[in-house]
Amino acid sequence: MVQIAKKRKEALTKVDKNKLYPLTEATGLVKSISYTKFDASVDVDVRLGVDPRKANQMVRGSITLPHGTGKTMRVLVLCTPEKAEEAKAAGADYVGLEEYIDKIKGGWTDVDVIITMPSVMPKVGALGKILGPRGLMPNPKTGTVTMEVGKAVKDAKGGKIDFKVDKFGIIHSQVGKVSFEADKLTENARELLQTILKLKPAAAKGTYIKSIYISSTMSPGIQIEPKSITV
């Protein structure tokens, strides 16, 4: 029999599985049931009533969280020499082109965001099998294929996140850290959830948001009342 750790057992007693918690209450509760020794991430999972296999029901987007994610983002900019200084001045961790394309082909993907220019996409596109599964492929829809590389770097460093519904119809996204004040977690989560609401596909029928859960690393999930995200 698998034994439940004392702290996890204590956390489980604080969460009512049958209750839908208002967003403001849920963010406070998730802080109180986190028992890791490190500053755990706080994540939101949203199950949508869409069929992601159909192009007209795909839900994806990007937002800049009001209070950032609490994570230091490592940014790689793949660009031509005339844009290199702009990228470096904006705070990019790695800037270059051919040398980094070769490194990626060799298996290196030690970054969180890759930004590039439209003219460079043919070369970057060849890396799709490596970058795609890791969620690192630049995309114009998320602002990571742009001529404004400096702005894109600042957005990524400032708490911009990209999200996309997976094949099961679920969006997973980090909205902060346990060390954040509860009201900041609330504002970050509300920004994400309201953005997802606005992106409802016209082809989606029935209930759009089926369930919302918030949790920290290794904590139980807390179910959020969908109506509370617009209050």
Name the E strands within 125-231. 160-164, 170-177, 209-216, 222-223
Angle, CA of 75, 198 and 43, to the nearest 5°: 50
Domain spans of the chain, in order of start: 16-68+161-230, 75-157
pTM: 0.77
Spatial contact of 71 and 174, defined as CB atoms under 8 Å apart? yes
pLDDT of residue 3: 44
Of the options 3.30.190.20, 3.40.190.10, 3.40.50.2000, 3.10.20.30, the CATH number for the domain spanning 16-68+161-230? 3.30.190.20
96: left (phi over 0), alpha (psi -120 to 50) or beta: left
C-alpha to C-alpha distance for 164 and 209, rounded to whole angstroms: 14
C-alpha to C-alpha distance for 175 and 189, rounded to whole angstroms: 6
133: left (phi over 0), alpha (psi -120 to 50) or beta: alpha
Task: Say which residues have a Cβ less than 8 Å from residue 103's Cβ, sequence separation at least 6.
Answer: none
Domain 75-157 annotated CATH 3.40.630.10: no
Per-residue pLDDT in tens (0 to 9) along the chain, 231 residues: 344 566 666 676 788 888 999 999 999 999 999 888 899 999 999 999 999 999 999 998 888 899 988 988 899 999 999 999 999 999 999 999 999 999 999 999 999 999 999 999 999 999 999 999 988 999 998 889 999 999 999 999 988 888 999 999 999 999 999 999 999 999 999 999 999 999 999 999 899 999 999 999 888 899 999 999 986
Considering Cα of 138, then 41, then 39, then 24, what sign does the dihedral take? positive
